[in-house]
Structure 1
Amino acid sequence: MNNDTVIVTGSKLTIDEVAQVAINGAKVGIAPEAQQKLTESREFVYELVNSNVPVYGFNTGVGANKDRKVEADYYNQFNVNMVRSHCVAVGPEASQAEVRAMIVIRLNTLLLGYTGMSPAIAYMYRDLLNHNITPVVPERGSIGEADIACLSHIALTMIGEGDAYYHGEKMPAKEALAKAGLEPIMLGPKDGLALVSSNALAAGQGALVLYELKKLIQLADMVYSFSLEAFKGNVSPLNEEINRVRRFRGQNESAAHVRKLLQDSYLWIPHIANALQDPLCFRCACHIHGAVRDSLHYLEELMDIQMNSSDDNPCVLINQNAIMSCGNFEVVNWTVAFEMLGIALSHLSRAACFRTIKLSSEHFTGLPRFLTPDPEHIIAFGTIQKPFTALDAEIRHLANPVSMDFYAVAGDIEDHCSNTPYVVQKTRKIVDNLYYILGIEAIHAAQACDLRQEKEFKLGIAGRVVHQKIREVIPFLAEDRNLTVDIANAYQLLKSGVLLHALNS
């Protein structure tokens, strides 16, 4: 745990702040004005409940049981039962970082004052984060119309049931709370529904996927620029004016970044390239990476809204003196944006695979086939084409849309969903596969660079970093060896952030 504190207000939470809390263990504080909103909305809830006005999830059942009245002396048991009955998710477990992301996002949306839950619950969210108590949350079982099947497991920890991690050690939740000096909470009207009914699971996992992707696209540019040097390719597609006339934001950002990465590279020597035009996997890389960037920009805007607005049903509207049923848990807009991003990443993956294949072809590079240092005795990179194309096939499958596949459930009243958690989890897997694919590309580029004998050969600022860091963990392939070890080392190198840190330091 570090000493940084993220102050949540309900309206200003960023993806970087979510990552700071979830991954780096930053503590969380609640803005005073947000605490006031919690108190006011809770007082308003009790006014309505005491007036015997039927309010969904307050003094009535939920789902198909919305027609059943809940008596005041049964509030606690009804809400406890709601939490228990909604614990229907299945494994594997979401990571502890992902659960922390879910908690801070849900806490933030509560602070807007549209939920009406007990302020004690918001403080419990804060205390779970600050005492490093992480509920065990199975990540599968939500169809995306609020993540009730999964988030109920966070609520279970709050009432002292189920399991949780305390400083990384798994134990009964009641024991974890006791170790931190916390008491299980008592649930009142609306509390159970507010605990289980939000999109915080998908939003939490989604925020961390986007955080990772913002690093991955930078790495993809680095590896591409290194491969272009190894390939002895053309820099003409990077020309600022050529990209400016096309006007796409992502394309121009990628091209500008790659131009910077190739500073001091031998590729800027006029007519140094092997051919007048390169294969499209090289020539159009910035356009493809730009499509990923454009998808990211679009999705980030939607995720910012998701993390800083209410997705509660019903919605507490003090200014209208009402609590109204709504569909604000519907997230199909940013779900399909995630699916668009997955498709764009599939294009990035395929281009990286083709570049890697081209780097092994003497016809394109002028280097020995499969980058062998000894064509008569060493096989080198012939067989390695199978795993990275297999991983790309997985990505192609994972990029298939699934948001439109659903049943009508809950007594036939919930007849739409978006499968948002699965969409996000598919994208998470795509990102993980890409670390392998880009890592293997970097291995090939490093080998090709070491085989080049041209006197003009000189790497740019990024190429020097990538080559050095690759060679620190993966030696030049001078003889055939177990390449599974090299692939794992390249994956870890890219995922660790070492390359970006070294480039920017």
Structure 2
Amino acid sequence: MGLEDLVAVAYGRATVVADEDALRLVGERHAVLQQAQAAGAVYGANTGVGANRHERSGADGAHPLRLLRSHCAAVGPVEDDETARAAMTVRLNQILAGGSGISRRVAEALAEAVYAGAVPTLHSWGAIGTGDLASLAELGLTLAGERPWRSGRGPVTTIDATDALPLISSSALTVAISALALDRVAGLLRASIVVGALSFLALRGNPSAYDTVVHEARAHPCQAEVAGALRALVAGSVTPVRIQDPFGLRVMPQVTAPALQSARQLRDVLGAELNAAVENPLVLADGVHHHGQFHTATLASHLDAVRNTFLPVLSLSSARLGLLMRPDLTGLRAFLADGPAGSSGLMISEYVVQDLLTEIRVGMQAVAAGTLTISLGLEEHASFATQGARSLRSMTQLAPTMLAAELVAAVRALRMAPGRLVDGGAREAYELAASVLKEDMADRPLGEDLSRAAALLPELASIERS
């Protein structure tokens, strides 16, 4: 399964059917786990978990539900339907890789729920990058019939001793949050190039900063690609008014390129997570293997990288917004105001952007730097990938308004000086935005314009991609 496939399922544009050969493998590996359980101790199947791993569980058959109930913390914000559906799909695809030892019955029940669009209630809190135990325990209890499906009609099945831990031994929710956030980041990066090009035209920028030879001289990954996209968007622009532009225009390729590269690297990591057998213990044809594959250090470090490289793209957008407010650079009125002397124009949009930018910066600590000791000191390290995923998601919720503020300003400037616009993708983007943004440039509330501009960003991203 690819990332695009997962996103399509999450948003209801596609569904999945479990492959019969994969289900057959699930059944075979379940038999291996049952044999190992009968022969001796198997973590979580006939023992406790965590610091209780050396204690043999009772033979009363209640252990699996006790395990799920005890791990079902059920606190914090409730994940939306798209995220919950993505988490279920991730977990199903991982189970079908054949390493969990879970019963075919439970795998088929989960597949049925995903196919039917049924969604459980999944709370956010309780994971630290070593498995989404609390949230997946909620899924397990929903499949067992102890919790209702939040929406849709899902199946109910029996959870046996060899099903409980294999079901929750995954970071499926963390992977789902990461994947959906990354999909939004990718779109926002493409949109930022288009918005930046409109600002360039409004500011009568100098395209020499995007020359091919410049970027061949130091060929960092993705840099020539971004410069090429900008060259295409601003081709035919008016004679530049400066020998060198401010950084907001001049360094767009250098700042956007590392964000594109880190996003693509995270995509590869998530592809591996999505299709992997990650469970502990891992059940293979030769028996049961206990290991540390639940630790998501690689995912955590790449989430940190995307956040660290996406932030400069947003701060550079805020810099361009500031440039568009300056009459010495635009040749237009301060703040792109239109009306009586002293009109504020788009002045307050800078405040909005700096508020959001600071909100993001407050949560920018690298999650991989965290430490802990839990479970009687026997679990003394974690990746905190879950917190990195949530932080990236938060960035993608705030970033559209920041880019929207720049878009509103660029469109207004080009309305005031339409001769600066060029044909091609830039004109297409301008006309699209101008069709939904009010022409009235008198002082008035700007919130509606910002919301409309933010909603346009996915369409602008498709212009850059084309």
In structure 2, which of residues 437, 440, 444 is the aligned counterpart of residue 474 of structure 1?
437
Q: One-letter code of the match for 1:342? A: R
Deviations 1:307-353 (A, max 9, x none): 1112111111323xx31211000111121111111111110111000
SS at match of 1:137: coil
- Indicate if the aligned counterparts of 2:339 and 2:443 stay in contact, CA closer than 8 A: no
Deviations 1:228-272 (A, max 9, x none): 11111011121122212221122122112222333xx432x5xx1
- Indicate if the aligned counterparts of 1:373 and 1:451 stay in contact, CA closer than 8 A: no
Q: Which residue of 1 aligns with 2:236?
A: 266
In structure 2, which of residues 362, 368, 384 is the aligned counterpart of residue 419 of structure 1?
384
RCO comparison, higher one (Cα < 8 Å, 6+): 2
User: d(CA) in 1 for partners of 2:19 and 2:231?
Assistant: 43
Identity among equivalent positions (%) equals 24
User: d(CA) in 2 for partners of 1:354 and 1:377?
Assistant: 23
Q: Which residue of 2 aligns with 1:58?
A: 45
* 1:60 Cα offset (Å): 1.0
In structure 1, which of residues 296, 302, 318 is the aligned counterpart of residue 269 of structure 2?
302
* 1:56 Cα offset (Å): 0.7
- Indicate if the aligned counterparts of 2:188 and 2:461 stay in contact, CA closer than 8 A: no
Are positions 1:368 and 2:329 aligned together?
no
Deviations 1:48-106 (A, max 9, x none): 2222x1111111111111122124x433x110111111111422111111111111111
Deviations 1:137-172 (A, max 9, x none): 0112211111101111111110112232324xxxxx
Structure-to-structure mapping, 1:444-455, within 5 angstroms: 444-452=409-417, 454=419
In structure 1, which of residues 389, 392, 396 is the aligned counterpart of residue 357 of structure 2?
392
Q: Which residue of 1 aligns with 2:297?
A: 332
Deviations 1:30-60 (A, max 9, x none): 2222122111101111112222x11111111
Q: Which residue of 2 aligns with 1:74?
A: 60
Are positions 1:234 and 2:196 aligned together?
no
* 1:453 Cα offset (Å): 6.0
User: d(CA) in 1 for partners of 2:60 and 2:8?
Assistant: 40
The structure with the largest strand share of the pair is 1
Q: Which residue of 1 aligns with 2:169?
A: 197
Q: Identify unmatched segments of 5+ residues in structure 1.
A: 1-12, 168-175
Are positions 1:499 and 2:460 aligned together?
yes
User: d(CA) in 2 for partners of 1:504 and 1:338?
Assistant: 24
User: d(CA) in 2 for partners of 1:246 and 1:477?
Assistant: 45
Q: Give the total of aligned pairs.
A: 466
* 1:460 Cα offset (Å): 3.6
Q: One-letter code of the match for 2:181? A: V
Q: One-letter code of the match for 1:30? A: A
Q: Which residue of 2 aligns with 1:8?
A: none
Q: Which residue of 2 aligns with 1:315?
A: 282
Are positions 1:402 and 2:402 aligned together?
no
- Indicate if the aligned counterparts of 1:343 and 1:400 stay in contact, CA closer than 8 A: no
* 1:27 Cα offset (Å): 1.8
* 1:477 Cα offset (Å): 4.0
SS at match of 2:124: strand
Q: One-letter code of the match for 1:479? A: A
Return 470-479 or 344-353, whichever deviates more: 470-479
Are positions 1:40 and 2:5 aligned together?
no
User: d(CA) in 1 for partners of 2:269 and 2:17?
Assistant: 25
User: d(CA) in 2 for partners of 1:452 and 1:25?
Assistant: 41
Q: Which residue of 2 aligns with 1:172?
A: none
SS at match of 2:379: coil
User: d(CA) in 2 for partners of 1:30 and 1:158?
Assistant: 17
User: d(CA) in 2 for partners of 1:473 and 1:405?
Assistant: 45
In structure 2, which of residues 6, 10, 18 is the aligned counterpart of residue 30 of structure 1?
18
Structure-to-structure mapping, 1:53-452, within 5 angstroms: 53-71=40-58, 73-75=59-61, 77-167=62-152, 176-177=153-154, 182=155, 184-262=156-234, 265-267=235-237, 272-319=239-286, 322-374=287-339, 376=341, 378-452=343-417
Q: One-letter code of the match for 1:57? A: G
SS at match of 1:140: coil
SS at match of 1:164: coil
* 1:300 Cα offset (Å): 1.5
SS at match of 2:452: helix
- Indicate if the aligned counterparts of 1:61 and 1:69 stay in contact, CA closer than 8 A: yes
- Indicate if the aligned counterparts of 2:75 and 2:125 stay in contact, CA closer than 8 A: yes
Q: One-letter code of the match for 2:374? A: V
Q: One-letter code of the match for 1:297? A: R
Q: Identify unmatched segments of 5+ residues in structure 2.
A: none
- Indicate if the aligned counterparts of 1:380 and 1:480 stay in contact, CA closer than 8 A: yes
- Indicate if the aligned counterparts of 2:190 and 2:465 stay in contact, CA closer than 8 A: no
Given the superposition, is the C-alpha separation of residues 374 and 453 from structure 1 closer, same or farther in structure 2, using an over 3 Å criterion?
farther
